Structure 1
Amino acid sequence: TIYLNFNRSKLIRTISITKQFIIIYFFTAMFTFIHLFIYPIIVTDNN
């Protein structure tokens, strides 16, 4: 029972770390997408 409980907490910790990495990766990807695609359109639109 103790081993099972430890395993579950380890799994939850791994999931939360993975979730944080996914969020960071998602925001980085969004920022890169905006910077590469939307920002040049705005700049060329102004000129």
Structure 2
Amino acid sequence: MTYNGLPVSTGSQHFDFLNGFPVPSQIADDGKFFYSGMFFQAAT
């Protein structure tokens, strides 16, 4: 799964890269993911 062209993990936690910097991304059970301090609805 991707969000705005960035890879997003579909489980547990991993690091995406935003402008060359690692940004922690975590998938929540309710289908939303936490990215760079903000919640977005997961685009599936």
| TM-score range normalised by the length of the shorter chain | under 0.3
Structure richer in helix, relative to its length: 1
Structure richer in strand, relative to its length: 2
Q: Taking structure 1 as the reference length, what is the TM-score of the superposition? A: 0.17
